[in-house]
Amino acid sequence: MKNKLLILVALISTVFTTESTAQQDAQFTQYMYNTISVNPAYAGSRGAISMTGLYRTQWVGLEGAPDTQTFNIHSPVGDSEKVGLGLSIINDNIGPTHETYFDIDFSYTINTSEEGRLAFGVKAGGHLLDVAFSELNQFNGGDQLLQTDIENKFSPNVGAGIYYRKGDRWYVGLSAPNLLETTHFDESALSVANEQINLYLIGGYVFDINQDLKLKPAFLFKGVKGAPLQADLTLNALLREKLTLGLAYRWSAAVSALVGYQLTDKLMLGLAYDRETTDLGQTQFEQGSYEIFLRYEIFENQKILSPRFF
């Protein structure tokens, strides 16, 4: 290393390296409302034109902390509703790095029983990477390695997934949204970094406690080579088909509170707050992480009389 700046950049680049134990894909506390971003088989499963926007700001108070925006839209196609199509866009910013993912999702569903539905999905798209070395406070302003920013470096992406649901009672899905291990830099650049394959396992079950109360425990397990298994465990309560209250735990990382409100049958608003349980959460600089999402759905012929819990 020539100076302390290279050490800093090396630490930032571990977000992408094969040896990294940090997150690669963007993470969401309200993952149950953003399933299509990680599993293309979810496309069309809600039986409506479903549009969701989600914004997450992580580790508020720390300069250069992750900041993520995502938008997706998906819908069944045709009268049989066996085919689903969707579009997902994620913009993720960490320090001097800016990444944009865009994917087209396709799913095909088969009926396994009167209520059982098994969907197979694929996604295809791309990834744009920017690294603004010029935004860094350079210890050595003449370092040739840091004179040229990386702008709109394109990498293709394909992914696949399966998703099974039993009526409105329970669901489970397995997916790999990025099957291509992409190299972002070459050996002549500052570092060599590979985008690893991430595996996602999601699931949930809805308990009807009484006419006005439903409980849904849910989980998301995420695995990537070279990093420990990430586990998100969530318990949501739905009151009178309107108000959702929830608690979540990200294993060895954070605790979270969630709230959502079904403003109309078509429109839902949700908020979440995370507090780190690691040493980072004990510092005076880190003030938690926040999420807000908005979902709007268009039903044909009012086929869905009450909002689905998943």
Q: Give the residue among 219, 244, 271 at the shortest CA–CA distance from 55.
A: 271
Q: Give the residue among 53, 65, 54, 91 at the shortest CA–CA distance from 12.
A: 65
C-beta of residue 44 within 8 angstroms of C-beta of residue 74: yes
* Greatest alpha-carbon span in the chain: 69
Give the model's pLDDT for residue 218. 96
Domains by residue range for the chain, with CATH: 4-298 (2.40.160.40)
What are the residues whose beta carbons fall under 8 Å from the beta carbon of 126, sequence distance 6 or more?
101, 102, 154, 155, 156, 157
Decide: helix, strand or coil at residue 183: strand
Give the model's pLDDT for residue 54. 97
Q: Where are the beta strands (DSSP E) in 13-82?
A: 49-57, 67-77
Cα 84 to Cα 70, 76, 120, 136, distances in angstroms: 20, 4, 10, 44
Could you tell me what percent of the chain has a pLDDT over 70? 78
Mean pLDDT across the stretch 218-240? Answer: 93
Averaged pLDDT score across all residues of the chain: 83
* Greatest mean pLDDT range, 7-16, 222-231, 279-288: 222-231
Give the model's pLDDT for residue 24. 59
Higher pLDDT, 257 or 131: 257
Mean pLDDT across the stretch 148-175? Answer: 91
Mean pLDDT across the stretch 124-145? Answer: 75
C-beta of residue 40 within 8 angstroms of C-beta of residue 217: no
Lowest mean pLDDT among 10-19, 136-145, 197-206: 10-19
Higher pLDDT, 186 or 80: 80
Higher pLDDT, 133 or 274: 274
pLDDT over threshold 60, residue 161: yes
| pTM greater than the 0.85 cutoff | no
